Amino acid sequence: MDKFVSYLSEFRDLVWGLPMIILLLGTHIYLTYKTGFIQRKVPLGIKLSITKDDGSVGDVSQFQALTTALASTIGTGNIIGVGTAVYLGGPGAVFWCWITGVFGIATKYAESLIGVKYRVQSKDGRMLGGAMYALERGLNMKKMAIAFALFAMVASFGIGCATQINAIAEVFDSNLAFIGIPRIYIGIFFGILTALIIIGGIKSIAKVCANLVPFMAIFYILGSIYILFLNYDYLIPALQAIISLAFAPGSVEGGLVGQGIIIAARFGIARGLFSNESGLGSAPLVASAAQTKNPVRQALVSATGTFWDTVVFCLITGIVIVSTVMKYPEVNMANFQNGGQMTTAAFNQIPLFGSFILIVALTTFAYSTILGWSYYGERCAEYLFGRKAILPYKLLYIAVLIFAPVLALDMVWTIADILNAFMAVPNLIAVLLLSSKIAEDTKFYIDNIDHHHKEEVPVLDK
């Protein structure tokens, strides 16, 4: 098994090498230019996210679509993922994770725009969209559309399911070992709970996420502020380490080691994509179900997801971990087998509430991701095999959820990284080839954001 994991790690390093870094960051920067630095419209997107579009076609409100997308993105990547990035790439990985988020706002905007623009309607009235419909309807690239849907469906079992429930089991093992809960029981409990929710489809999932996401976000921010207050003497040194070690190898107190720009960038960008999913093509799958007056309006709302996820949450987590490791030298990277263990140890150093903050935050973050990605995978399964595939997909998703807690964490994360890359490539091709149309729609709607586009959504014949 160790040899297999080693081969997987080598393959991950290959797919997440310099070419993928250039493709991803290059797309983020190019779309930032094509959209006229759409990041400046984040405040407008936040305002629109709590505004109801009465009379618009769609299955869920803009806020529900955003919170479902946030539920999927604000997961273990914001805690364990950032810790893994620091463990593998050094503190400098936090900087590259943050940079990926800032420029990734443009890509999240672009992919969501085409997701809504090329959406279709099922015979029973459900709105369906995403990169596969943009590839098929916008670019006439049916084979590429099938490839995206296939990779996304398979990826849902990894990034959306196995990594999340595995992380929950890991944090229970580390912090509640005295209770002695077998990992399989954790899988069974969350499997049953998930089945009860996803059986109701997107409306049921969206209602749960609309209530869960605001609670878990506020709780985690307040908890992190508490930790940063305790670590105030190390805040400036932590920020200095994050910036300086992003560009050069070196070391700082607390056993933190900078691995050099390529390694820091590779793991920072990989974890950034895992966390905010900008360029992955996942968020448009739910954005296309939103009630919205025009594609740009919903795209602006969707883009705020990357802002909250990476620009805010991942940065906070990175500073918390780096400052804590610097304050407590015993939390040395060399003393742990993976980033998850180091992250848990860092939080456990915080008096009174450290373990509690980690347990509640990671459990709610991970579980919300499980719910959101079940919908993503379902949409892709339906695109590939028709509506008859929905129930078998849900049953398989629940089965993976039950048994994934017993898998090795390193292997699960490595497979998730590989699947992310395979899923991202077709989506990035779509946004790049449709970038001129994205720019045209942006130019027309950005100053006419309340313009009600009379959408003629084609109805599927299957």
| pLDDT tens digits in sequence order for the chain, 462 residues long | 678 888 888 998 888 777 888 898 899 999 999 999 999 999 999 988 887 766 566 677 878 888 888 887 787 777 877 888 888 788 888 998 888 889 999 999 999 999 999 999 888 888 899 999 999 999 999 999 999 999 999 999 988 899 889 888 887 887 776 677 889 999 999 999 999 999 888 889 989 988 998 899 899 888 889 989 999 999 999 999 898 888 876 544 444 544 566 777 777 877 777 678 889 899 899 888 888 878 898 899 999 999 998 888 888 989 998 998 888 877 766 566 777 777 777 787 788 788 888 888 889 988 999 999 999 999 999 999 999 999 999 999 999 999 999 877 677 778 877 888 899 999 999 999 999 999 999 998 887 776 666 656 666 665
Looking up residue 204, the CATH number of its domain turns out to be: 1.20.1740.10
Q: Is 23 within the bounds of a domain? A: yes
Is 458 in a helix, a strand, or coil? coil
Residue whose structure tokens are 């080691």: 257
Distance CA 120, CA 187 (A): 35
Domain around 343? 13-438
Question: Which of these, 133, 90, 119, 102, lies nearest to 37 by C-alpha position?
Answer: 102
Q: Is 258 within the bounds of a domain? A: yes
Q: Is 54 within the bounds of a domain? A: yes
pLDDT for the residue 253 = 47
Q: Is 308 within the bounds of a domain? A: yes
Number of domains in the chain: 1
pLDDT for the residue 129 = 92
pLDDT for the residue 460 = 67
Q: Is 7 within the bounds of a domain? A: no
State the DSSP string of 362-391.
Answer: HHHHHHHHHHHHHHHHHHHHHHHH-GGGHH
Query: What's the whole-model pTM score?
Result: 0.89
What own/partner pairs with CB < 8 Å and gap ≥ 24 does 177-184 have? 183/405, 183/406, 184/402, 184/403, 184/405, 184/406
Burial annotation 224-235 (CB, 10 A radius, 16+ → b, else e): bebbbebbeebb
Q: Is 450 within the bounds of a domain? A: no
